[in-house]
Amino acid sequence: MEPWLILLPAFVMSALMILTHTYLGLHVLARGIIFVDLALAQVAALGMSLAFLLGEEPHGLTAQLYAFGATLTAAFAFAGLRRIPGKTTREVIIGCVYVVTTALSIVILSRSSQGMEELKSLFNGNILWIRWQEIAVVAGIYLALAILHGLYRKRFYVLSFATEEASSPSFLWEFLFFASFAIVITLAVNVAGVLLVFAFLIIPAFSALLVARSFIGRLLLGWCLGLFGAVAGLWLSFDADLPVGATVVSVLGLLPLVAIGLRVTRRAASE
């Protein structure tokens, strides 16, 4: 079989993640709650770990429901973060959620002889082996969320970017934002793992932030950079027989340097 046929499902899933995660990443960066995505990803992993302990297939539908229930609960709590004074306090809360859920996942999975292998899978994912049926489900749900955010884009934009106008936002809209975040995270962690999910959420968005000024410009540039990093990472992992998730994350780590190069080049051209 041709290499590109083997890599194509993984790339399509990566593209779906980049399209949704870069958008959410820009919101996260604007809000200054950088690690909320990592915390939600680990909460999803905790839900899957609990399902695994109870004898469920760790990547089956029941495990997904456990993960979604856990992330939805966390989303409800995170929707109230804006009401807590002090950015540092909010970051501490998010950090505590991450470290405690990570520890609980380790404790839960230590009760099984195969638990540590499953923990490794939750961190690294298995995106190279994703099936087209799974991609279709993810694409359908992501499309529904994209329509929701497209129809109410002004409300969601104000929540993150117009802080003065949104000093007392509706808790319902805050919850809808974090609930959609939770759905995206839960589906992604199941196939891509915690590390890759965090990388797709933050690195392309941050890289674009270094170059573009408008939200649309940052979104488009983030998509381009993320897709470039995904293609390069997937091909390198396949060609050199390296771990897929870790390799893609390592390649994505170079994107801020690429962005700085673009910024310097653009500045030099304008002088």
Tokens linked to 81: 């973060």
Query: Are the C-beta atoms of 14 and 230 separated by less than 8 Å?
Result: yes
Whole-model pTM: value is 0.87
- Tell me which CATH code domain 3-265 carries: 1.10.3470.10
The amino acid present at 3, given as its one-letter code, is P
To which residue do tokens 């470290």 refer? Answer: 99
Locate the domains of the chain by residue range: 3-265
105, containing H or E segment: helix 87-109
pLDDT digits (tens, 9 = 90+) for 189-231: 888 888 898 899 999 999 999 999 899 999 999 999 999 999 9
Q: What distance, in Å, lies between the first and last C-alpha atoms of the chain?
A: 50
**Alpha carbon distances (Å) from 197 to 67, 122, 248, 266:** 15, 11, 11, 30
Check residue 99 and give left, alpha or beta (phi > 0: left; psi -120 to 50: alpha): alpha
pLDDT digits (tens, 9 = 90+) for 58-86: 777 888 889 899 999 999 988 888 777 77
Q: What is the CA radius of gyration of the chain?
A: 18
Cα–Cα distance for residue pair 44/172, rounded to 1 Å = 22
Query: Are the C-beta atoms of 45 and 67 separated by less than 8 Å?
Result: yes
Query: Are the C-beta atoms of 198 and 41 separated by less than 8 Å?
Result: yes
167: which DSSP letter?
S
Q: What percent of the chain has pLDDT over 90?
A: 41
Q: Taking residues 176-185, what's their average pLDDT?
A: 91
pLDDT of residue 129 exceeding 60, the answer is: yes
